[in-house]
Amino acid sequence: MNKPKILILGAGYGGLTTTVKLQKKLGVNDAHITLVNKHDYHYEATWLHENAAGTLHHDRSRVKIKDLLNSSKVNFVQDTVVAIKPDEKKVELENDVLDYDYLVVALGFEAATFGIPGLIENAFTIGSINQARLIKQHIEYNFAMYNNEPEPKQERLNIVVGGGGFTGIEFLGEIANRIPQLCEEYDIDRSKVRIINVEGAPSILPGFDPQLIEYAMNSLESRGVEFKLGALLKECKPDGIVIEKDGELEEIPTVTTIWAAGVRANSLVEKSGLEHNRGKVEVKPDLRAPSHEDVFVVGDCALIWNKDNDRPYPPTAQIAMQEASVCAHNLAALVKGGELDNFEFNNMGTVASLGHGDAIGVILGDKKLFGWSASVMKKIIDNRSLFKIGGIGLVLKKGKFNIF
């Protein structure tokens, strides 16, 4: 028996979907499949803004990986990847070294901080369950602290969100709903709390439909969100930030800066020796690395050009899961024989949540949605993502059904 070894790194949308699909395509004797992940759970990264705001418990956003795997076909290793060595066909983990015949790199994103002083030290990012629940606790702790000091500190009540992209806007929608509850909880006047969005572009959600952007801004402003558009974050300090707008510097006191203005691929990719373009692997149509035929890259670490607008596709859960589907097919074809497929993005639409019961989106190519109907669509999308990794059982367990 000389079964090929398939090694999958990361159990996010890309890696986990690849694994789940692959275990259906291959028999027990076809291959050794190993999935490596830092935690023993998968999390729905697109739900983390709700956990961070405290509007959804973090356990709702995560699933034990073992519950999703067929243990006779897939070996799960809980460990952290330290280095990828494609020339040696090896991957170094903190506690082990694994070799492979086929590798799937699905290690996701990390925050890009563009060298802004103090950002790494003093800002939060919404990138994991650990970070999301820390943000929730940090905000609550500061609200609890507010009435315990002889001189109340405004920086405890100001919440700054850096970036008006998807994550930033979705977090704003949740936190705007959460703040009145926190104010009641800690006997704080709502008018004392500021929620501030700082975005370098002249508009939030760049590239989105202008009518929907206006709807989103109205919805958020009506709940007390202030927008600072065309404003750059210059510095992040422990008790405040400095922004520049129209050539003027402004200081805003805050102990809570959520940085949601940029992501990059996991930096292990850049260090691996795989050919890359600013940290991402510009994969071939079959999702393999051009420099290494035995390495697939899916999700946020892969770069694929959208020929319609000559720009790379943005890193989304939707594209990662579609890539995973092709990746699983191609791995099965390599192992058992068959044609390799090429990846084609099938845009199912995009919906951004604005908090419970409100959202904006575009589906079916050009159909605009907003308000309740968009919010229902968002929940359908969230449930669909659960369905793809865990079937109807997982949807019933962790799905979102609070549509009224």
Bridge partners of residue 289, in order along the sequence: 292
Bridge partners of residue 49, in order along the sequence: none
User: How many of the chain's residues bind a second copy (CB under 8 A)?
Assistant: 18
Question: Which residues, 54 to 83, sit near a second copy by CB under 8 A?
Answer: none
Max Cα distance, the chain (Å):
74
Report the residue from 27, 64, 141, 393 that binds a second copy according to the rule CB under 8 A: 141
137 touches a second copy (CB under 8 A): yes
313 touches a second copy (CB under 8 A): no
Bridge partners of residue 103, in order along the sequence: 7, 295
Q: Which is nearer to a second copy, 108 or 200 (CB)?
A: 108
Q: Check the CA dihedral 48-114-39-124 and report its sign.
A: negative
Which of these segments, 92-100, 137-145, 159-167, 246-254, binds a second copy (CB under 8 A)?
A: 137-145
Q: Which is nearer to a second copy, 153 or 245 (CB)?
A: 153
Instruction: Report the relative pairing of strands 367-370 and 263-265 from DSSP bridges.
Output: unpaired
148 touches a second copy (CB under 8 A): yes
Report the residue from 70, 80, 95, 147 that binds a second copy according to the rule CB under 8 A: 147
Which of these segments, 125-133, 249-257, 321-329, 390-398, binds a second copy (CB under 8 A)?
A: 125-133
Q: Which long-range contacts (CB under 8 A, 24 or more apart) does 272-276 make?
A: 272/83, 272/84, 272/85, 272/86, 272/105, 273/84, 273/85, 273/86, 273/87, 274/84, 274/86, 274/105
Q: Which is nearer to a second copy, 133 or 292 (CB)?
A: 133
Question: Which of 50, 170, 199, 323 is the catalytic position?
Answer: 170
Q: Binding marks (x or -) toward a second copy, 184..203, rule CB under 8 A? A: -xxx----------------
Report the residue from 70, 95, 130, 211 that binds a second copy according to the rule CB under 8 A: 130
* Residue 199 among the catalytic residues: no
138 touches a second copy (CB under 8 A): yes
Which of these segments, 180-188, 223-231, 336-344, 352-360, binds a second copy (CB under 8 A)?
A: 180-188
Q: Which is nearer to a second copy, 144 or 363 (CB)?
A: 144
Report the residue from 55, 75, 78, 131 that binds a second copy according to the rule CB under 8 A: 131
145 touches a second copy (CB under 8 A): yes
197/165 Cα distance (integer angstroms):
10
DSSP-derived secondary structure for 242-283: EEEETTEEEEEE-SEEEE-S-EEE-HHHHHTT---BTTBEE-
**Which token pair is 305?**
């050009």
Q: Which is nearer to a second copy, 78 or 316 (CB)?
A: 78
Per-residue buried b or exposed e for 77-94, using 16+ beta carbons within 10 Å of the residue's own CB: ebbebeebebeebebbbe
Q: How many beta carbons lie within 10 A of that of residue 336, not counting itself?
A: 12
144 touches a second copy (CB under 8 A): yes
DSSP-derived secondary structure for 100-135: -SEEEE---EEE--TT-TTHHHH-EE--SHHHHHHH
Footprint on this chain of a second copy (rule: CB under 8 A): 39, 130-131, 133-134, 136-138, 140-141, 143-145, 147-148, 185-187
Q: Which residues are tagged catalytic?
A: 170
